[in-house]
Chain A
Amino acid sequence: MTQNALYINYEFCTGCHSCEIACRNEKGIGLDDFGMKVLEDRPRQHADGSWHWDYIGYPTELCDLCADRVAEGKLPSCVQMCQAKCLHYGTVDECAQMLTKKGSKAAIFMP
């Protein structure tokens, strides 16, 4: 069986929290819990004056990559609702290819 995964281009995760709420809505997760969670590495300036400020949405153990939605031909809820379109769903191979192509600030998650 092909394994699927979630690819995130976190250079462009804007920290909008849409994935968190879309996931809660889809999976009926309570307000204090997360199937998808946006983490923030708060802003700071490097010695050379350039800036660091990253968000990354990542799936927790409550994530099943929206198996039911995918079976109906839909995208996982977080991927569909992502405003920055920085999340992608695919096979591990497809995600790995995207990762290689991107070359930096990207990750693959298998929840």
Chain B
Amino acid sequence: MAEFKTVNSDGSVTYRTCAWSPPGCHPVGCGLLVHVKDDKVTKVEGDPEHPITRGALCSRCLALPEYMYHPDRIIYPMKRAKEDRGLDKWERCSWDEAVNLIVTNAKAVSEKYGPESIAVFGGTGREGNDYYSTFANCVFGTPNAVYAQPGWSCYGPRASITAFMMGGGYPEIDYAQKCKDRYEDPAFTAPEVIVLWGKEPLRSNPDGMFGHSVVEMMQQFGTKVIMVDPRMTWIGTRSEYVLQLRPGTDTAMAMAWINVMVEEGLYDKDFVEKWTYGFDEMAQACAEMTPERAAEICGVSAEDIRAAARLYGSSHPSSLCWGLAVDQNPNGVQLGQCLLSLMAITGDLDAPGGTILGAGDPHASNAARSDSVADADEARDAADYADRLEEEVYANQMETAITYAYKYGLMTEERYAKKIGVDKYPAIGAVMWTVAPDEFLKALETGKPYEMHMAMIQSSNPVGSAISGEPQRWHNALKKLDFNFCTDLFMNPTIMSCCDVFLPLATTVEHDAIVVPHYSLNMSFFGAERKCVQVGECKSEMEILLLLGNEIFPQYWGQFEDETDYIRKKSGKLDWDNLCQEVIVTNVEPYYKYESGMLRADKQPGFPTQTGRVELYSYTYEAFGESPLPYYEEPAYGPISTPELMKDYPFVLTTGARRQEYFHSEHKQVPSLRKISPWPEMEINPADAAALGIEQGDWVEMASPYGTCRQRAVVTPTIKKGVVHAVHGWSYPEESGEEPTLFGNWRSNINVLMPNSVNGKLGFGDTFKCMICSCKKVDGPGEHASPKESEVYVEPSRAAEFTLAQTWRPATAPEYSKGA
């Protein structure tokens, strides 16, 4: 293995390191070779010695120098007077002044209104995810960490329901990522079949999975693929079956698969007998969902449904990869329950080539990355007993920093209990560390149960186009706060419209940290993320945590000399200095961990649930007031639920299929990447396009009852008639950032069409993948567009809960029994 640092003959230096963020990415930890000359990164390559990526690298990291040295990047702290919000009147300031402004305002707000009136926003899956609840709980003393997507609909639902039903972190397809010799390892068997359900791993930003491993296994081992997706994709054209279902009807499809596999005996009877609980009840719950019935609901032939389920059930090993479509669906908790059941009843759960589980962190090094994100072991324990969940979450999330915070009164139990919305949706608070997002938005707007006064916006853009629904509401609500500051790299709509101080962040190659795939929930390796250069005065989120922590709560944060000291002290048995030398340490983990006691805190065989088994009948669901067994619910908006409304909005709208060159609302200013995808694109079937006079490249205005946006048409047979797909994440960094334009934030922003508060019973799920809209051809992108402010149509069954007059601990809050 090459060293971390190699000095080349021309005096340049090559560093080996692993990537996370910024720029935005999930913890896949791809291997980088970073070439540096005169303290400047000249080129980034893939690291051929990285065991997972083996030299491969996607366009975003290949273009990293363009991003790092972009003229628009902000590399010094900046401030702006509150009355100038929305105007480009930023002034450079020193770190001391920026920190002083933040600390002074935080103290004033805390004293006047209580620390709970401060909120800390985090973005999706970025490295900052590990810190925003720590900033909230252990620096500002507020319970209100916020992930602004309606229904927490990204990864959180999947992680939570895994904890509820079986533990084992996060289930992932086996691509020999935990085998010492990868595909050549004798312990590994390649999957015969991989099901990609609501996930396109080649283009998406998988949360720890190296997406192209699917293509590697297709080539090397002839692995077959089955896709369940409303769109035909490139990988779909190489798949055995593509079930192009109506968006949002996945639960019916999954229940039909269970129906077929039970009916035809295509399950592992021995595994089901020994390791699952409630199989008969599950079978019964799916008995009426025949392929014929699912065919009617989903718009896919019963023959194909049956054939796909048969292929999955009769191939061994078979593996199932679930995607964001599980989360962005109010019926997704039931979908996830069915998919976990499908992973289990094949008997290939945690088997070679099956769907593998995580055993937690063998080095107890999670704390190296955070003082507050739930530790995998303890999160699993927490799932044991529903009545212990809240208590456990304290223990998990707070760890040492929170112990200090309680000891010194920075946080109190009374204040922590004021975390907004988790009284209404306790299941969200059980595993995730934040408020219930939809409820929090109402609180921001109404001042109930209490007024919010300040926000830290950490690597997130809730006024933008990625995670928030109705960003127009977040825009109005955040503008009103007394003081807001952000950590980021480029100006964006949220910062321009709402913030007063800008703290510049260091990229993934400008700071030290540890990257662990799947946020430690199913880790295949530990990667050293190393500082290769300094740009301007940028700092990492960890450095900023220590800096602000030391000012506000020195009793705890004062013990760390610097970020290296912090990492070293908190890296457990994982020796940071050794990791720096090795760059990557593979987490070699055996298969069948449920047999050897590796999944349970008490080291007994089985799964960390109340019954010790995979709970196909879920006691935890039941304890939270949800049905213990799956059921199908129609999408809130659609031909069955809102036929009248569809006269005006006749298309089913699904959104957010990824382009690999962009991460959510980022990267649009990077020339190499923008060249690949210059415009936001919506996909429409040729028959629909012809009927509307829309041709390839035309601008199309899409509208829902909540608002409108414009994107350019891709006329393609890959999307079915009656369905359109629109990309998310678009604004135009090349345009004026000032209000009201905000980098063209309202022009192509599909989230403007998406409501909040359309969640499932547990509070999870939204409409991002199953909405309705109208489409019409327009002449061009249009001038500046303003978000629609008029009254909105509220889908009837949820009208009662869609009220801005939220009261604290409303009488209607679900009572959940203490234990089952």
Asked if residues A43 and B237 are in contact (CB atoms below 8 Å), the reply is: yes
A80 in the interface (beta carbon within 8 A): yes
Judged by a CB distance under 8 angstroms, whether B88 is at the interface is no
**A75 CA to B57 CA in the complex, in Å?**
14
A84 touches B45 (CB 8 A): no
Q: Are A21 and B59 in contact (CB under 8 A)?
A: yes
Please determine whether B718 and A43 come into contact, CB atoms closer than 8 angstroms.
Answer: yes
Residues of A within 8 A of B661 (CB): 17
- Distance from B63 Cβ to chain A, minimum over Cβ atoms (Å): 6
- A81 with B55, Cβ < 8 A, contacts A12-B219, A16-B202, A43-B716 known: yes
Q: Which of B46, B234, B236, B672 contacts A80 (CB 8 A)?
A: B46
Known: A17-B676, A22-B62, A75-B48. A51 touches B232 (CB 8 A): yes
Query: Quick one: closest A residue to B56, CB to CB?
Result: A83
Q: Is the CB of A14 within 8 A of B62?
A: no
Task: Tell me whether B218 and A18 are in contact (CB under 8 A).
Answer: no
Q: Decide: B57 and A14 in contact? CB cutoff 8 A.
A: no
B residues near A84, Cβ cutoff 8 Å: 212, 215-216, 219
Of all chain B residues, which has the CB nearest A22? B62
B234 engages A55 (CB within 8 Å): yes
Q: For residue A25, which residues in chain B have a CB less than 8 angstroms away from its CB?
A: 43-45, 62
Q: Does A3 reach chain B (CB closer than 8 Å)?
A: no
Residue numbers in A under 8 Å from B675 (CB-CB): 31
Q: Contact flags (1/0) for B712-726 with A, using CB distance below 8 Å? A: 000011100000000
Binary B-proximity of A74-87 (CB < 8 A = 1, otherwise 0): 01010011111110
The chain B residue sitting closest to A51, CB to CB, is B237
Which residues on A sit within 8 Å (CB–CB) of B45?
Answer: 22, 25, 77, 80-81
Report the Cα distance A61→B671, complex, angstroms.
23
For the complex formed, measure the closest distance between the CB of B534 and the CB atoms of chain A, giving whole angstroms.
Answer: 22
- Known: A16-B202, A17-B661, A31-B672. Is A86-B46 also a contact (CB below 8 A)? no
Using CB atoms, name the residue of chain A closest to B57: A81
B110 interface residue (CB < 8 Å to A): no
Residue A52 CB within 8 A of the other chain: yes
By beta carbon, the residue of chain A nearest B55 is A80
- Taking chain A's interface residues, is the majority helix, strand, or loop, or is none over half, making it mixed? mixed
**Are A9 and B219 in contact (CB-based, < 8 A)?**
yes
Q: How long is the Cα–Cα vector from A85 to B56 in the complex, in angstroms?
A: 8
The answer to whether A18 and B58 have CB atoms under 8 Å apart is: yes
- Chain B residues near A9 (CB-CB < 8 A): 219
Interface size class of A (residues with CB under 8 A): 20 to 34
Interface presence of A100 (CB below 8 A): no
| CA A51 to CA B237, docked complex, whole Å | 6
B35, chain A: closest CB distance, angstroms: 9
Which B214-233 residues sit within 8 Å CB-CB of chain A? Answer: 215-216, 218-219, 232
The 8 Å CB contact of B234, one of A14, A24, A26, is A14
CA distance A42 to B54 in the complex (A): 29
**A109 at the binding interface (Cβ < 8 Å):** no
Q: How far is the CB of A9 from chain B (nearest CB, A)?
A: 7
Q: A24-B672, A85-B216 are in contact. Are A17 and B717 (CB under 8 A)?
A: no
* In the bound complex, CA of A85 to CA of B182 (Å): 15
Contact with B along A9-38 (1 / 0, CB 8 A): 101101111100110111000010000000
Q: How far is the CA of A45 from the CA of B237 in the complex (A)?
A: 10
Determine if B218 and A81 form an interchain contact, defined as CB atoms under 8 angstroms apart.
no
A44 within 8 A of B: yes
Indicate if the CB atoms of A12 and B59 lie closer than 8 Å: no
Distance from A100 Cβ to chain B, minimum over Cβ atoms (Å): 17
Asked if B660 is at the interface (CB within 8 A of a chain A CB), the reply is yes
Does residue B794 face the partner (Cβ distance < 8 Å to A)?
no
- A55 to B62: give the CA distance in the assembly, Å: 20
Q: Is B238 an interface residue (CB 8 A)?
A: yes
Residues of A within 8 A of B717 (CB): 43-45
Q: How far is the CA of A14 from the CA of B58 in the complex (A)?
A: 12
CA distance A87 to B661 in the complex (A): 20
Q: Which single residue of chain B is at the shortest CB-CB distance from A52?
A: B237
Q: Write out the residue numbers on chain B whose beta carbons fall within 8 Å of the beta carbon of A22.
A: 45-46, 57, 62
> Is there contact, CB below 8 Å, between B237 and A81?
no
Report the bound CA distance from A104 to B235 in whole Å: 17
In the complex, what distance in Å separates the CA atom of A14 from the CA atom of B203? Answer: 9
**Do the beta carbons of B238 and A83 come within 8 Å of each other?**
no
Contacts of A81 in B (CB 8 A): 45-46, 55-57, 62
Interface flags, B35-75, vs A, CB<8A=1, else 0: 00000000111101000001111110011000000000000
Contact call A16/B660, Cβ cutoff below 8 A: yes
Do A83 and B58 touch across chains, with their CB atoms under 8 A apart? yes
> Which B residue's beta carbon lies closest to that of A31?
B671
Across the interface, which residues of B come within 8 angstroms of A53, CB to CB?
232, 234, 237, 718
Cβ B219 vs Cβ A85 within 8 A: yes
Q: In the complex, what distance in Å separates the CA atom of A22 from the CA atom of B54?
A: 15
Q: How far is the CA of A44 from the CA of B59 in the complex (A)?
A: 26
CB distance from B456 to the nearest CB of A (A): 34
Residues of A within 8 A of B46 (CB): 22, 80-81
Contacting pair A16 B58 (CB below 8 A): yes
Set of chain B residues within 8 Å of A21, measured between Cβ atoms: 59, 62-63, 672
Select from chain A the residue with minimum beta-carbon distance to B42: A25
Distance A17 CA – B54 CA, assembled complex (angstroms): 17
Chain A residue at minimal CB-CB distance from B65: A25
Q: Contacts of A52 on B, CB cut-off 8 Å? A: 237
Contact: B212 with A83, CB < 8 Å?
A: yes
Contact present for B716 and A14 (CB under 8 Å):
no
Q: Contacts A14-B212, A17-B661, A25-B62; is A82 near B232 (CB within 8 Å)?
A: no
Among residues 657 to 698 in chain B, which have CB atoms less than 8 Å away from a CB atom of chain A? 660-661, 671-672, 675-676
Q: Are B43 and A14 in contact (CB under 8 A)?
A: no
Q: Closest Cβ of chain A: how far from B9's Cβ, in Å?
A: 10
Question: Would you give the 0/1 interface string for A84-109, flagging 1 where the beta carbon is closer than 8 Å to chain B?
Answer: 11100000000000000000000000
CA distance A92 to B167 in the complex (A): 52
User: What is the bound-complex CA distance between A20 and B295, given in angstroms?
Assistant: 42
Q: How far is the CA of A86 from the CA of B58 in the complex (A)?
A: 14
B782 to chain A, nearest CB (A): 27
In Å, the complex CA distance between A18 and B30 comes to 14
CA distance A80 to B57 in the complex (A): 9
Quick check: B56 and A82 within 8 Å, CB to CB? yes
The interface residues of chain A lying within 8 Å CB-to-CB of B57 are 18, 22, 81, 83
Chain A's closest residue to B46 (CB) is A81
- Residues of B187-246 at the interface with A, using a CB-CB cut-off of 8 Å, are 202, 212, 215-216, 218-219, 232, 234-238
* Residues from chain A with Cβ under 8 Å of B232 in the complex: 43, 51, 53
Q: How far is the CB of A77 from chain B (nearest CB, A)?
A: 7
* Set of chain A residues within 8 Å of B236, measured between Cβ atoms: 51
Nearest chain-B residue to A40 (Cβ)? B234
Determine the distance from Cα of A31 to Cα of B46 in the docked complex, in whole angstroms. 20
User: Which residues of A pack against B, CB within 8 Å?
Assistant: 9, 11-12, 14-18, 21-22, 24-26, 31, 42-45, 51-53, 55, 75, 77, 80-86
B residues with a Cβ closer than 8 A to A are 43-46, 48, 54-59, 62-63, 202, 212, 215-216, 218-219, 232, 234-238, 660-661, 671-672, 675-676, 716-718
Beyond the given A16-B202, A85-B54, A85-B216, please list 14 additional residue pairs across the A-B interface where CB-CB is below 8 A. Answer: A12-B219, A15-B234, A18-B56, A18-B59, A22-B46, A25-B45, A25-B62, A31-B671, A43-B232, A44-B717, A52-B237, A80-B46, A80-B55, A84-B215
List 9 contacting pairs A-B, 8 Å CB cutoff, sorted by A: A9-B219, A16-B660, A18-B57, A25-B44, A43-B232, A51-B232, A80-B45, A81-B55, A83-B56
The 10 closest A-B CB pairs, nearest first, are: A51-B237, A21-B62, A80-B55, A83-B212, A83-B56, A53-B237, A84-B215, A81-B46, A81-B57, A14-B202
